[in-house]
């Protein structure tokens, strides 16, 4: 059962719904126009513009922004309005399929919001665009009203040049807006979908035909079946006259081949519509395989827009596994492996802080983080007259250092010459260790934040009985939260000691002392955090809660001391110089 303070925190988080919007505008060359559109987006509070990717050859700009649903919809509407004023589709030319000034506008659920809720927002936005701007609007993907319109390619079939004829057909009457051709603005597709990665793979050829052949090999739709026995290649049809298609190798992948004059290369341009089914690294490897089979070679790749951190980490771990190397290393190192393996820096430098969503949002947060301090600055900040960071943060950091030593031994063991058959065993231990490191580093700042919450509660007004009651309640909630943080540090430090024990027993014997020091640090983290549990719990009125948490904490402390003794005995036996 969750505590009162945890429920309060969970409820606060649940209220912060986040959606992503990735509109594509049919302008990639005039930066003045692009700037006016993005300025309209940034004019809305509660919205963060995280990427603007303009393509000269495609004459198309992909914009990505994140925020709360209502604010994102407002920013999206303003952007569509500005694009309709500035972009003239009758004069537009580019490599990418398109049929409107704002060509597509998808909403993507990011956190604390369901797809059904996102669909409702998308349809309401589509209606507003149609009602207020009179632009023909088609709802696609999850927001589609009919199966016929679910696929964006079907909605956009015929592109801008065929839009006038399309709008004249009853079956293609828009969902919202005018059902007549508007030469200047064209039409727009508004949808709700899962996270999509726009991903291009570079080839050592200029041939669009060869690139298309590979695209047809890998994309889910595949290619039309043809009669190979006929001197003239003919498409094969069924008894009803419908074309028969041969499916491609990858589900949830859309792909075409094109030539990018800006870089002088042909590319396989892919939309990875479900990265759980077809992640970036699998798509890359499959294109490499098919390119080689056709006498071509992949030279690198390009990420258009932004990507979730998990996609990059999954890619890095995938290639590390192929190399039989441990994945229990820092996220920065894993990302570096992903970038180099995928060739994401071939055409231009890949900057994680500008390409990975979580890093972009972190950069927007100006809040000071203790874990970002240098070692010297952290020590000096601890030594200052400020009461935080205090013993709780230091305990968490000691635990993180202990887990780091255990993880180091695992990584060294995975890479040890002659131990190749055991690399995966040690890699698994290293990855476990890394999860403890990451969790404990978060607790360094969480413990200080918890202390600050208590100070904020004590600072609340107490002029009358109501204010006194509210103040007392807030103090109790903050104190309970400040008790639970070091208790969780105790659990993490103790659990991390299993890594040190395993490494003392089976790891590289030359580093057995490091496993022992790791155990000492982790046990110190347990006992240090226990002191903080005690002192914070002493300020709580709920004595049953206090009794229970102190009993649990005492058991963790006793078990940690016992495990430390076991680990040190193993270490001493291995380094016995007698």
Q: Looking at the annotation, which residues are catalytic?
A: 96, 447
Report the run of H or E that residue 245 belongs to, with start and end.
strand 245-246
Which residues are registered as beta bridge partners of 53? Answer: 62
Task: Give the CA angle between residues 496, 498, 502 to the nearest 5°.
Answer: 130
CA–CA dist 428, 14 (Å, integer):
33
- Are 439 and 491 in contact by the 8 Å Cβ rule? The answer is no
- Are 333 and 430 in contact by the 8 Å Cβ rule? The answer is no
Structure tokens of 431?
């990855």
CA–CA dist 81, 77 (Å, integer):
6
CA–CA dist 496, 361 (Å, integer):
30
- Are 306 and 357 in contact by the 8 Å Cβ rule? The answer is yes
Q: Left (φ > 0), alpha (ψ -120 to 50) or beta: where does 3 sit?
A: beta
- Are 525 and 396 in contact by the 8 Å Cβ rule? The answer is yes
Longest CA–CA separation in the chain, Å:
95
- Per the document, the length of the chain is 578
The Cα-based distances of 236 to 154, 214, 219, 220, 285 in angstroms read 22, 20, 19, 19, 30
- Are 318 and 406 in contact by the 8 Å Cβ rule? The answer is no
Residues 6+ apart with CB under 8 A from 112: 13, 14, 15, 16, 17, 18
Q: Which residue has the tokens 């790791």?
A: 518
């Amino acid at each position: 059962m969750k505590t009162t303070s945890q429920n309060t925190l969970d409820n606060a988080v649940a209220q912060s719904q986040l959606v992503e919007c990735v509109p594509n505008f049919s302008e990639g060359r005039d930066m003045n126009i692009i700037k006016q559109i993005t300025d309209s987006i940034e004019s809305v509070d509660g919205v963060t513009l995280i990427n603007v990717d303009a393509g000269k050859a495609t004459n198309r700009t992909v914009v990505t922004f994140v925020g709360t649903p209502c604010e994102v919809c407002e920013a999206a509407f303003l952007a569509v309005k500005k694009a309709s004023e500035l972009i003239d589709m009758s004069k537009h030319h580019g490599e990418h399929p398109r049929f409107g000034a704002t060509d597509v506008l998808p909403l993507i659920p990011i956190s604390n919001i369901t797809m059904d809720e996102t669909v409702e927002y998308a349809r309401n936005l589509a209606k507003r665009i149609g009602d207020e701007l009179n632009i023909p609007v088609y709802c696609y993907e999850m927001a589609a009203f009919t199966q016929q319109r679910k696929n964006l390619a079907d909605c956009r079939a015929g592109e801008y040049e065929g839009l006038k004829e399309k709008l004249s057909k009853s079956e293609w009457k828009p969902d919202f807006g005018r059902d007549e051709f508007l030469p200047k603005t064209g039409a727009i597709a508004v949808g709700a979908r899962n996270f999509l990665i726009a991903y291009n793979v570079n080839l050592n050829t200029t041939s669009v035909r060869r690139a298309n052949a590979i695209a047809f090999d890998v994309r889910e739709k595949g290619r039309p079946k043809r009669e190979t026995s006929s001197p003239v290649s003919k498409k094969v049809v069924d008894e009803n006259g419908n074309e028969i298609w041969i499916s491609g190798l990858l589900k949830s992948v859309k792909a075409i081949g094109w030539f990018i004059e800006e870089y002088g290369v042909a590319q396989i341009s892919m939309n990875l519509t479900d990265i759980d089914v077809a992640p970036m690294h699998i798509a890359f490897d499959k294109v490499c395989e098919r390119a080689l089979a056709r006498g071509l070679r992949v030279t690198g790749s390009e990420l258009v827009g932004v990507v979730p951190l998990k996609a990059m980490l999954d890619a890095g771990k995938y290639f590390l596994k192929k190399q039989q190397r441990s994945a229990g290393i820092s996220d920065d190192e894993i990302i570096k492996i992903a970038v180099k393996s995928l060739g994401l820096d071939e055409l231009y430098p890949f900057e994680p802080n500008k390409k990975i969503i979580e890093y972009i949002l972190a950069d927007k947060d100006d809040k000071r983080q203790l874990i970002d301090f240098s070692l010297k600055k952290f020590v000096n900040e601890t030594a200052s007259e400020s009461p935080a960071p205090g013993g709780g943060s230091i305990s968490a950091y000691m635990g993180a250092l202990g887990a780091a030593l255990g993880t180091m031994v695992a990584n060294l063991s995975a890479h040890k010459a002659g131990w190749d058959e055991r690399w995966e065993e040690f890699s698994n231990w290293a990855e476990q260790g890394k999860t403890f490191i990451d969790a404990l580093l978060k607790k360094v700042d969480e413990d200080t934040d918890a202390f600050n919450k208590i100070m904020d509660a004590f600072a609340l007004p107490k002029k009358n009985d109501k204010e006194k009651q509210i103040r007392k309640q807030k103090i109790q909630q903050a104190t309970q939260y400040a008790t639970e943080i070091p208790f969780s540090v105790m659990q993490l430090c103790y659990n991390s000691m299993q890594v040190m024990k395993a490494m003392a027993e089976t790891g590289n014997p030359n580093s057995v002392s490091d496993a022992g020091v790791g155990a000492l640090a982790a046990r110190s983290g347990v006992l240090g955090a226990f002191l903080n549990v005690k002192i914070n719990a002493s300020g709580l009125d709920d004595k049953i809660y206090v009794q229970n948490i102190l009993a649990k904490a005492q058991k963790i402390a006793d078990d940690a001391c016992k495990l430390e003794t076991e680990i040190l005995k193993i270490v001493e036996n291995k380094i016995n110089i007698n």
